[in-house]
Structure 1
């Protein structure tokens, strides 16, 4: 594998020169120069996802240099390396094969000379039998009552992915109520336990290693609650209600869950990419296994697009290159995700983890300090809520914040007039961000409202919108399991490309370890009433403040 520093490439030098010409160019001038600009910067994916990236501060020349950068960094080779099972996660010596989980044509994919598709299909079969048995009432609790509630206990990718998908696909939900518990704060679990009946509830404990502190503690507390609530002494009855998703079978067994209740996944599946695996069991229970397969099918379609489509028409690659252009030349620090669909309300949070845990790195693949910007800060809210919260900053603030606007054309549940109005806001916001308004337009508007000349001259600067704020419009035919699968997969691959462009390893997350390790020692310090002096003055103060209040009461 070729680990190339992007700033050492010929394309980077061309981009630096080109940026001097582009930094003050206005989007409205680009449209004035080319009235058909949208046709040039538009991609239709299978008539279900339409990407309009014309409202960006780019030209044909910009893209030419960005495409050349991707080629100089051997991006297509890197993509093939991932799809072929090569160990691209070098720091953990692992393949990265979430793409195998949705490999619906079952073509062989090898890890250590073993075709992993056989094991994947065994787990899918087990998921199918389990989810259908729960949904149709054949699999029941210890008291022989039908299951009504499912509690998914996990954190990070074991929570954000499944939670996001089940919320996004609410229109496909069956009678089961699915709840998600992630936080170490005990109130999160207690709030769920207050509303479920132990006789009719099953718990899914989702942890790749089964060593995740938050998940294991919540599991143990849920198990204790279950035993006390039912006054159960025979712990084997727990087997009717507690199931695990993990690659660490021995650890799961040691904590009381037998093999038949374990759904396997593998070291080559990263947690934040695991919703396609048995970690998505809550999805299959919520929307049915057939719809879960459609989710996989949609992702597989986007996998094929990413793998086989040339760079110049490849949606994830184009979005990643544009993002890299803003981060490294305009020095934008954030990207905003704005889904104009209430059911996608967890999509920005999901992408926040997927992007920032993957690419929030400052060391390159050669172990040296990175020479460019890596992950942007990802944030966002559903429209139109965001319009009444932070769009003021997007339109008139001092930050350059590229935005992705996402909307479905069809929405079966929203009243027709509501959805048409939502679409009008979606389109209007991208137009306003790109083009802004002029002094002449504001003057005329105020004049028509009856303001006199003195009042107009005072108010006019405050009502000016400079525009030139970049956006991508991602229009979905409808939010279905298949189309959602394609959308999620699109962003997964965008993140992968961003990692290659920055010359970093995207599939480890060592940055989460230090704080977790330090907490173990501090936890021991908190469980006695001795005053401590072993840390810095701030840490000593915080530990001693807690203990003073706890032990003196």
Structure 2
């Protein structure tokens, strides 16, 4: 019944243009924005009304959103397919905070790992971490993939203005590409004597990461010798598997731990965030955690129509399932947020790109839209043509800080830089306005040829931070996390597994054996492998066989 009411309501609004909605209600912004802490969420440019919100809130109640939030924060096993809790929020909780401890001693375990992180960070910042030759570490390379790369890369880049001044400046580098080119390029620029590697992998079995880690270890051993101290002095590990780290050779003092109940795309709040702490210091890293905790408390307690993550989720559900919009662009108007679109692509699509309910039944409705994006000024010269005059409807999230250069800093910052931030703000506001209103945004309507016309009616939200601080960024990212969880509840899917990526990785290993096979070998064991490979090859499709043949032709003679 509630869904029927939403569909009927959508039918009445489908023909309304955003320009008309603003003309009918000049105070629309006041009723369709919310501000919580450092974050202002303006959804007045969405194609909805306060009546829409009331109906969506009813639907949230019908889906037992309150019960699911309670279960999430109680540490219940909300990840049904893996029989796990999802307690990434506990990574940023505090013993004296507003959220009860779901498991006795949990917050203490988290605090212990943060203290281990702090000892490592302080040692590196003081220039006291030495390589095997006694030289000071100057470069730190994070080797990871997925959340173990995107999280620390995005946050450290976003908060570069907070980079600490240390006795020994540290250069941070990130490697994730499995083909080796990224690492090869980097190793040509580094000195083994001064380089420390962080191997970040939840399972410590991820093939992409271990291949890069093994290459780095070989590079160090070739330059510095095979003494076990080479690995002890030049490698840190971050994983949920202490055993696997030990087997690889990471010294006990160099292992940082997180837990199986932390999904990779939710892990930047854990020791996976070590590169962030190395960049901005542990004090600012704790501010980042505090921002996330602030949003956790808001999400857990606020009524639906005052709850920013819930409103983000309800707006997304409205667009995807009632208006039929299947794409969302993330458009930050601050180059420090360059990697935010990629981060949110993983967060949203790996979480909610599902077609099966929690009960194992196929869904008969859309779930996650396609998430994509780019820094706004670059996007304007890449795909805004499609947004403004194309045939696709795309909803957009504009993300921007209101301030960058403080009045108190103007003596140290040129007016040009301040003006550049103002230019970014002006473009952010102008583009969202033009997308919504089209030609109605012009102060004077004039007759234009069709190729110059702007139809408008493209919905968007603006998420405006007061500043891009560690606290503010933490609040923003936690809001997106809770948006994802809320939408999963509304769609009745599990956002905490990712079985869709597993089979492809398994098939890749089988395919690798075919690329490695040597059919012309005289060795009996290799001949047996070749026979097995031939049987595997026979099970392949024609396209894959053709591509494998081409690879072998090119490799022949090498």
Among 456, 473, 477, the residue aligned to 1:484: 473
Among 164, 169, 174, the residue aligned to 1:180: 174
Alignment of 1:268-279 (within 5 A): 268-279=261-272
**Native 8 Å contact 2:19 2:436 kept in 1:** yes
SS in 2 for 1:245: strand
Listed one character per residue, the Cα deviations across residues 185-219 of structure 1 (whole Å, up to 9, x for unaligned) are 11111111122221111111000100100101110
Measured after TM superposition, the shift of residue 106 of structure 1 is 4.6
Partner of 1:451: none
Partner of 1:147: 137
Q: Which moved more, 1:526-535 or 1:543-552?
A: 526-535
Alignment of 1:51-62 (within 5 A): 51-62=41-52
Listed one character per residue, the Cα deviations across residues 342-398 of structure 1 (whole Å, up to 9, x for unaligned) are 010000000000000000110011101012211111111111111111001111111
Partner of 1:461: 450
Among 33, 38, 51, the residue aligned to 2:24: 33
Q: Are 2:501 and 1:507 equivalent residues in the alignment? A: no
Stretches of structure 2 lacking an aligned partner (at least 5 in a row): 406-412, 520-533
SS in 1 for 2:419: helix
Measured after TM superposition, the shift of residue 226 of structure 1 is 0.6
SS in 1 for 2:173: strand
Among 3, 6, 12, the residue aligned to 1:15: 6
**Native 8 Å contact 2:143 2:200 kept in 1:** yes
Among 417, 420, 426, the residue aligned to 2:419: 417
**Native 8 Å contact 1:438 1:464 kept in 2:** no
Listed one character per residue, the Cα deviations across residues 302-343 of structure 1 (whole Å, up to 9, x for unaligned) are 111101111110001001111111111221111000000001
Measured after TM superposition, the shift of residue 438 of structure 1 is 5.5
**Native 8 Å contact 2:434 2:441 kept in 1:** no
Distance 1:443 1:477, change over 3 A: closer
**Native 8 Å contact 1:152 1:206 kept in 2:** yes
**Native 8 Å contact 1:50 1:475 kept in 2:** yes
Listed one character per residue, the Cα deviations across residues 467-505 of structure 1 (whole Å, up to 9, x for unaligned) are 111111111111111111111111111111111111100
Among 369, 376, 379, the residue aligned to 1:383: 376
* Equivalent-residue separation in structure 2 for 1:115 and 1:87 (angstroms): 18
Alignment of 1:233-248 (within 5 A): 233-248=226-241
* Equivalent-residue separation in structure 2 for 1:87 and 1:393 (angstroms): 43
* Equivalent-residue separation in structure 2 for 1:440 and 1:552 (angstroms): 66
SS in 2 for 1:407: strand
**Native 8 Å contact 1:337 1:403 kept in 2:** yes
SS in 2 for 1:477: strand
Listed one character per residue, the Cα deviations across residues 222-271 of structure 1 (whole Å, up to 9, x for unaligned) are 000011122x1312232011010011111111111122211011001001
**Native 8 Å contact 1:439 1:460 kept in 2:** no
**TM-score of the superposed pair, with normalisation by structure 2:** 0.92
SS in 2 for 1:143: coil
Measured after TM superposition, the shift of residue 133 of structure 1 is 0.9
**Native 8 Å contact 1:182 1:215 kept in 2:** yes
Q: Which moved more, 1:113-122 or 1:351-360?
A: 113-122
Partner of 2:527: none
Q: Are 2:199 and 1:208 equivalent residues in the alignment? A: no
Measured after TM superposition, the shift of residue 461 of structure 1 is 1.2
* Equivalent-residue separation in structure 1 for 2:402 and 2:358 (angstroms): 42
Listed one character per residue, the Cα deviations across residues 113-154 of structure 1 (whole Å, up to 9, x for unaligned) are 543112111101100111011111122222222221110000
Among 134, 137, 156, the residue aligned to 2:127: 137
Q: Are 2:203 and 1:190 equivalent residues in the alignment? A: no
Distance 1:138 1:30, change over 3 A: same
Distance 1:433 1:27, change over 3 A: same
**Native 8 Å contact 2:433 2:441 kept in 1:** no
Among 217, 223, 229, the residue aligned to 2:217: 223
**Native 8 Å contact 2:132 2:229 kept in 1:** no
Measured after TM superposition, the shift of residue 415 of structure 1 is 0.7
Alignment of 1:390-405 (within 5 A): 390-405=383-398
**Native 8 Å contact 2:439 2:445 kept in 1:** no
Among 301, 305, 308, the residue aligned to 2:301: 308
**Native 8 Å contact 2:94 2:107 kept in 1:** no
Measured after TM superposition, the shift of residue 60 of structure 1 is 1.5
Distance 1:415 1:34, change over 3 A: same
Listed one character per residue, the Cα deviations across residues 271-321 of structure 1 (whole Å, up to 9, x for unaligned) are 110000001111111111111101000110011110111111000100111
Distance 1:72 1:403, change over 3 A: same
Partner of 1:50: 40
SS in 1 for 2:34: strand
SS in 1 for 2:467: coil
SS in 2 for 1:395: helix
**TM-score of the superposed pair, with normalisation by structure 1:** 0.93
